[in-house]
């Protein structure tokens, strides 16, 4: 829902920040044991980076919960330009003096998107 909200009204930084908070802290939201147990392959794929593994798991879980129509709609706008724009908006809102954060934000969002869209 936050993806659709931000896509529809890009002027609202709250949607972007909320989305990033959910994605970047998904492992810490009760999913750490799952990542070290049944989803260990996700941790291995991202070199044991817990935040990226959580983003991958969030994408995979969202994919399982989404209808085919929702995934099709997401795939029409969840492309690199959109991710770049969203990442910059998050960085500017949360870390206005921290341009070095942009790569990490973009990587986290891209990992989520990759696992969401399959």
Cα distances (angstroms) measured from residue 10 to each of 2, 29, 55, 69, 77: 11, 26, 22, 22, 13
Predicted confidence at residue 11, as pLDDT, reads 64
Predicted confidence at residue 16, as pLDDT, reads 86
Task: Tell me the pTM.
Answer: 0.91
Low-confidence residues in the chain, pLDDT < 70? 1, 10-11
Q: Quickly tell me which residue has 């529809």 as its tokens.
A: 8
Cα distances (angstroms) measured from residue 107 to each of 49, 79, 81, 95, 101: 12, 13, 13, 16, 10
Cα 116 to chain centroid distance, Å, stands at 9
- DSSP for 97-109, please give it: T-GGGHHHHHHHH
């Amino acid at each position: 829902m936050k993806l659709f909200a931000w896509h529809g009204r890009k002027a609202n930084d709250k949607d972007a920040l909320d989305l990033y908070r959910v994605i970047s802290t998904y492992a810490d939201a009760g999913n750490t044991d799952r990542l070290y147990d049944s989803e260990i392959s996700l941790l291995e794929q991202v070199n044991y980076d817990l935040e990226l593994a959580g983003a991958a798991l969030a994408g995979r879980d969202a994919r399982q919960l989404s209808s085919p129509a929702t995934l099709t709609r997401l795939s029409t706008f969840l492309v690199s330009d959109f991710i770049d724009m969203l990442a910059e908006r998050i960085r500017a809102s949360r870390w206005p003096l921290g341009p070095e954060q942009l790569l990490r934000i973009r990587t986290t969002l891209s990992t989520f998107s990759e696992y969401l869209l399959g």
